[in-house]
Structure 1
Amino acid sequence: MNKQLNIYVFDGSFEGLLCAVFEWFERKPGQVILKTTDTYQPDAFSPSLVIHSEERKSARVWAGLQKRLAAAWIRILYCSYLSEQEEVYTSLFEFCCYLFSNPPGAEKNYGNTHVLNLSQAARKVEREKHRMKAFIRFQHTADGIFYCGIDPDFNVLPLIITHFKNRYADQQWIIYDIKRHYGLYYDLEKVENIEIDFKVQKQAIITSSAVLSTKEELYAVLWKDYFKSTNIPSRKNTRLHTQHVPKRYWKYLTEKQL
């Protein structure tokens, strides 16, 4: 087998990553590093192959993974992909090749670097998902839609759709990821992806008062008063508090805008 390092360049999609696995088994080129088209820099010493996403190829690899893996591990694969880290993309690729090249149960071998990497990456993404579910605070806009802008470390919007659709089924809402320039819009029937052109990015997290409903300011004042009244200064433990509510999430919380 050729030991030369090869670079596979894909479009960053999950389907493209699965197609890279398909191409590896077709060609068996040796060691491969994955790069997305956005970050790839030509290397004179390492041959590269551009991976084209094809539904037939990705569907075949996906079907094979579903046959070999339990639902919990399918979830790990998807969550680790949502981390959007290139080193995790390579671990996903290597894990799939490792899985198909070994007897059933290979995913339980945590001595394998890529098995461990995926587990750790998925755990971080799941933690970020739980924090978004806990810390998102909607603002009521003048057109009756509840809005919240976020900038999570990982692409967790696909993981929180069901939670917010079920919890806020009786109101229209938008959760917008300003870092990735897309969001979720619920119209009382379905959730769909949307894109908004924000001229000033900072306004995406805290909505301008010009577009808020007249009641929103009252809601904010009442909530802040409630927060103050339930807070016991003598029992304040800032260190413990920041462990449970890291400061980078404070910008979402109405009670922190004092």
Structure 2
Amino acid sequence: MQEVYDSIAYLYDGTLEGLFTAVFCAFERHEVPTDVCREADYQPRLSQLAVTIETSLQKADRVRAGILRACGRRGYRRVRRAALSDDPSAGTDVYRFVAFAMAENAKRPCHGCPRRGTCRSAFCSPRQSSCPKVVGRLIDDVTNPAVKPVHKLSVAVNRECEHMRQFLRFQELEGGLFYARCNPKANVVPLIMDHFAERFNIQPFIIYDENHAIAGISEGGDWQLVNIRDWPDHELQLPPATATEAVMADAWCRFYRALSVDCRYNPELRRQLMPKRLWKNITEVKGEA
């Protein structure tokens, strides 16, 4: 007797491309999955069919192009940030948001027109419902149940990116390599690499996310991501620190303490602005973690 399932779950490999592939398959198969989640986060439900989606870069690129058409670059950046969240429901929230945006985009009379948004016809007037700005306004409507979760995840991931930009501490290794460890609660290394590559310029550096086993490696101004779990020993093989690194770290700690004002010390505010979960990788407070 064939088993009957009440719902379906799409499982992907945890990458942005894997999630976009799952979204593509949902449209392609005319299915509405109840859950779209990473394989590692999946919790089986009664009477639910779990389908593993194989990542396809071609399908992911088509979804990416569709999001850009429907939501613009700002909407795509929001989707990307939300997809990199560690929240187990991030995949489902992104799928529902994309389905909502695609449906709204398809309502426009000028849907599919290559001149959409640039011509001067009445359909592209801001007073018409077909204006490209309409979807832009809808994706900011946080009262919409399809928009609010993605907006919330995007804000949280953006805050985590800001923490990394502020609190990453690099140490100099032999050979002129700079290295920083971090432990964010979202997969933000792909989002911060451009920031640091611009500032380091041609100086080689590595940012290692120990929570997600992802390393961003930059050399000569270009950078790439490496999954450490794919390496034979599952760890980075790094040269030792330079002879002056300990001296510079000690000087930085003394500078940090010299700037502190004891009568204005506020530990609660300090933990709020500098989350304690990050302290083990912050040079000046590592001993207090």
Please indicate, yes or no, whether the TM-score normalized by the shorter chain is above 0.5.
yes
Tell me the residue number matched to 1:89.
Answer: 91
Seen in structure 2, the aligned counterparts of structure 1 residues 31 and 190 have a Cα distance that, compared at 3 Å, is closer
Kindly state the Cα deviation for residue 145 of structure 1 after the two structures are TM-superposed.
1.4
Deviation per CA, 1:87-144: give whole Å up to 9, x if none. 1100111111222223452424422223100000010100000110100111112333
Pick one of 149, 154, 174 that aligns with 1:117.
149
State the one-letter code of the partner of 2:266.
N
Kindly state the Cα deviation for residue 191 of structure 1 after the two structures are TM-superposed.
1.6
| Greater RCO (CA < 8 Å, at least 6 residues apart) | 1
Deviation per CA, 1:181-218: give whole Å up to 9, x if none. 221222234222345569798xx8xx99x922110111
Deviation per CA, 1:224-248: give whole Å up to 9, x if none. 2222222221222222222211222
Bigger shift: 155-164 or 169-178?
Answer: 169-178
1:34–1:86: 8 Å Cα contact kept in structure 2? no
Corresponding position: 1:137 with 2:166: no
Corresponding position: 1:153 with 2:155: no
State the one-letter code of the partner of 1:35.
C
Work out the percentage of aligned pairs sharing the same amino acid.
Answer: 27
Separation in 2 of the partners of 1:200 and 1:19? 27
Aligned 1:214-253 pairs, distance under 5 A: 214-253=243-282
Separation in 2 of the partners of 1:74 and 1:222? 43
Tell me the residue number matched to 1:18.
Answer: 20
After TM superposition, the score normalised by the length of structure 2 is 0.76
2:9–2:36: 8 Å Cα contact kept in structure 1? yes
2:17–2:60: 8 Å Cα contact kept in structure 1? yes
Q: Secondary structure in 2 aligned to 1:47?
A: strand
How many residues align? The count is 251
Pick one of 218, 224, 229 that aligns with 1:186.
218
After TM superposition, the score normalised by the length of structure 1 is 0.84
Corresponding position: 1:8 with 2:10: yes
1:4–1:31: 8 Å Cα contact kept in structure 2? no
Aligned 1:100-111 pairs, distance under 5 A: 100-102=102-104, 103=107, 105=135, 106-111=138-143
Tell me the residue number matched to 1:34.
Answer: 36
CA RMSD of aligned residues (A): 2.9
State the one-letter code of the partner of 1:72.
R
Deviation per CA, 1:51-94: give whole Å up to 9, x if none. 23334433333222111112221110000001033311001111
Aligned 1:62-77 pairs, distance under 5 A: 62-77=64-79
Separation in 1 of the partners of 2:46 and 2:254? 63
Contiguous gaps of at least 5 residues in structure 1: none
